[in-house]
Amino acid sequence: MFKILFVMAFMLVGDANSYDELQGAGDDDIHSIFNHIREIKIDGTEEFPLFRVSSLDVRDDMIAILDGTIPRVTLYDATGNPTFATGRRGSGPGDLLNPRWIGFTGSDQIAVLEGTGNNRIQFFSAHDGESEDILSGNFLFPGRHAFTDSTETPPRLWITVRASCPQDEGSQCVIQQVDLATGEVERHFGSTEEISPGAIGVPWILGRGDAGELYAAHTTAGGYIAVYDNDGTLLRRFAMDEASTMNVLEWDELPASTEEYFGLLQDGLLRSSIWALHVIGDDILVEHEARGGGEPWTRYISVFGTEGVYKTSVAVDFRGYAVQGDRIFFVEETDPEAEYGAFSIHEYRYTGVAE
């Protein structure tokens, strides 16, 4: 049985009409939109323990896994054998504090985004795990999502943050573009007013399309996705309100303050939560949970076209972490009682929604 590894909150439910429908929606099997390719078993050992998969990335024959509880970065080969582990709690080179995201910047480096306490991006060698560089000073309140593109010149990184919008005094921007060659922030964009006025705090959800567009949503907002081009210009925004597994508030009904949000939460009106947003080809795959009134949480992947047209929902029992082309990698905790952790990485190929 697959198991999701950590919990975040997302959408506030307004109209109770769909509560009873949630449990009956998305009953299609995962194999209706995915083909299972392979399973990679990863068993923790005393030398290479793995207690939680906080983030992972896959590149060629390498798998980089971040365990935020230790905290530690471990590199595995394509069969799940560990190559090296690096990291310890602290703030010096090679140390990690509140790490949130891991990703390859190319074949030679692994980037780790660190949150409160360090607020930085640290780069480790993909050959031996040595700390090679640190970018700091520009990463205020980072979220949980980031993307790197080493094919661009200069290579760039996008992260989700809470920072002042230079073009609109008083607004907060939530996407930051960084020149990896210099460490300089090139631009901030994506204000809360554009994505969702009811968004509370971080983390933001971020996905990147094949043409470079960035798709932004928020874990505790009302079910809207905003799409930006590579220069930070808002292209479009749409609500995920056609999915029967979601119930989206009208734009003018979104809570405008933390107090309003937690008031609705306390009243039991929180009925959905988003986990991740993946863009594969012409489709957006939104991983989320939902429940009817008084019912247990059910986990889904809901699929939308990149213009916002709803396609389908499937019920799932896992968490997806990394996307490479049309492949997505899910994580299963195979033995919660294992002394040093036991997981499987399942590689699936997204086949799309049948017309």
For every residue of 199-217, DSSP letters joined together read: --SSPEEEEE-TTS-EEEE
Q: How many domains in the chain?
A: 1
Tokens linked to 18: 């769909």
Q: How many CA atoms lie within 13 A of 34 on its CB side?
A: 25
Over the stretch 248-267, which tens digit does the pLDDT of each residue have?
A: 777 877 777 777 777 766 66
As a whole number of angstroms, the distance between CA 320 and CA 31 comes to: 15
pLDDT score of 14 more than 60: no
Over the stretch 67-96, which tens digit does the pLDDT of each residue have?
A: 999 999 999 999 999 999 999 999 999 999
As a whole number of angstroms, the distance between CA 345 and CA 41 comes to: 6
Find out whether 220 and 200 touch, Cβ atoms under 8 Å. Answer: yes
The reported pLDDT for the residue numbered 292 is: 57
As a whole number of angstroms, the distance between CA 94 and CA 125 comes to: 11
Q: Which of 8-17, 102-111, 119-128 has the lowest mean pLDDT?
A: 8-17
Question: Does residue 54 belong to any structural domain of this protein?
Answer: yes
Give me the domain span that covers residue 43: 16-350
Chain centroid to Cα 134, Å, comes to 22
Question: Does residue 259 belong to any structural domain of this protein?
Answer: yes
Instruction: Identify the three-state secondary structure at position 94.
Output: coil
Question: Does residue 3 belong to any structural domain of this protein?
Answer: no
In terms of pLDDT, which residue wins out, 171 or 247? 171
Model confidence, pTM: 0.86
Instruction: Give the list of residues 6+ apart from residue 266 with CB closer than 8 angstroms, or none.
Output: none
Q: What percent of the chain has pLDDT over 70?
A: 83
pLDDT band at 268, cuts 50/70/90? low
Over the stretch 226-240, which tens digit does the pLDDT of each residue have?
A: 999 988 899 999 998
Over the stretch 132-175, which tens digit does the pLDDT of each residue have?
A: 998 886 676 777 778 887 777 778 888 888 888 877 777 788 89
Find out whether 197 and 224 touch, Cβ atoms under 8 Å. Answer: no
As a whole number of angstroms, the distance between CA 192 and CA 99 comes to: 24
The reported pLDDT for the residue numbered 149 is: 78
pLDDT score of 305 more than 50: yes
The reported pLDDT for the residue numbered 161 is: 84
Question: Does residue 47 belong to any structural domain of this protein?
Answer: yes
Question: Does residue 6 belong to any structural domain of this protein?
Answer: no
Question: Does residue 9 belong to any structural domain of this protein?
Answer: no
Find out whether 176 and 156 touch, Cβ atoms under 8 Å. Answer: no
Which whole number is the average pLDDT over 295-303?
Answer: 81
Over the stretch 24-56, which tens digit does the pLDDT of each residue have?
A: 455 568 889 999 999 999 999 999 999 999 999
Q: Tell me the CA distances in angstroms from 134 to 30, 123, 173, 277, one per residue in order.
A: 40, 6, 23, 27
Question: Does residue 271 belong to any structural domain of this protein?
Answer: yes
Instruction: Identify the three-state secondary structure at position 125.
Output: strand
Query: Would you state the torsion angle of the CA atoms of residues 265, 224, 299, 271, taken in this order, to the nearest 10 degrees?
Result: 20
Mean pLDDT for the chain overall: 82
Question: Does residue 296 belong to any structural domain of this protein?
Answer: yes
Give the domain CATH number at 236: 2.120.10.30
The reported pLDDT for the residue numbered 7 is: 29
